[in-house]
Amino acid sequence: MKRKKLKARDRLIVSLDVAGKREVISLCSKISGRVSTLKLGLELIYSIGPEIVNTVKSFGYGVMLDAKLFDIPNTVAGALKAIGRLDVNMVTIHTLGGRAMLTGAVKTLKEQRENKIRPLLLGVTILTSLDDSDLDLMGFKKNHINSVLDLAGFAAEAGLDGVVCSAGEVEKIREKTGSDFYIVTPGIRLPEDDVGDQKRVSTPRDAVSKGADFIVVGRSITRNKDIGGAVDRYLEEIRGALKDD
């Protein structure tokens, strides 16, 4: 899946930030195949279990499993072996876990059986709910932009397929890692949307114009009264950004 081959529907990943299977089924139906991939996060996995992956796939969607793995290398490797059996398209891991954890994760996925989908391994950098003041309190020596750049470089060197970061870091990461390194951008809102608990946000057009391959949108779509219409609005913004290229 090269970046140049991504269509607008491939680039928009809708996050199912719900806790019940009925809600998942309802959202899968209302999104009605407008996008290629849906994101399943910790709330769903812990509420329902990994079998929810098959529910989403039964509607024809790919799955981004936002597992945010962060543990000692052996534990993460074991988790990825199990995740590999789920045939998801993407899985996330924290870049702060260290070189051994990251390289071990890459090795584990590459050793998966050939008849299974080898998911893209995406490194979470600095959460978009954090800003410089938060990092300062946590003891970081650098601001969020430089911290993200360091972690993105670290991920690329370890062999990850890409990273998750805010739109504000996309251009510099793209310069540093090249066009074949995937960049996934959460914290995406339309101008009229509520920011919620995010601190580093951007519009879909801005994120894609800067070089993001994928944008992740949750509540702005899933809590909209017209879910299909909301998806279409985001897709329109993405297409506009691609034309701007």
The secondary structure of residue 19, as a DSSP letter, is -
Kindly name the residue from 30, 68, 176, 199 that is annotated as catalytic: 68
- Examine the residue annotation and report whether 68 is marked as an active-site residue of this protein: yes
Contacts (Cβ under 8 Å, ≥6 apart) of 243: none
| Other CB atoms within 10 A of residue 100 CB | 13
CA nearest neighbour of 14 among 222, 185, 237, 240: 222
For the chain, give the longest Cα–Cα distance: 46
State the burial class of residue 28 (Cβ atoms within 10 Å of its Cβ: 0-12, 13-18, 19+).
buried
Nearest alpha carbon to residue 124 among 85, 154, 87, 96: 96
Q: What b-and-e string marks burial along 114-150, b requiring 16 or more CB atoms within 10 Å of the CB?
A: eeeeebbbbbbbbbbebebeebeeeeeeeebbebbbe
- Report in angstroms the alpha-carbon separations of 182 from 1, 177, 179, 220, 222: 10, 9, 8, 24, 25
Count of positions (residues) in the chain: 245
Return d(Cα 146, Cα 150) in angstroms, integer.
Answer: 6
Catalytic residues: 68
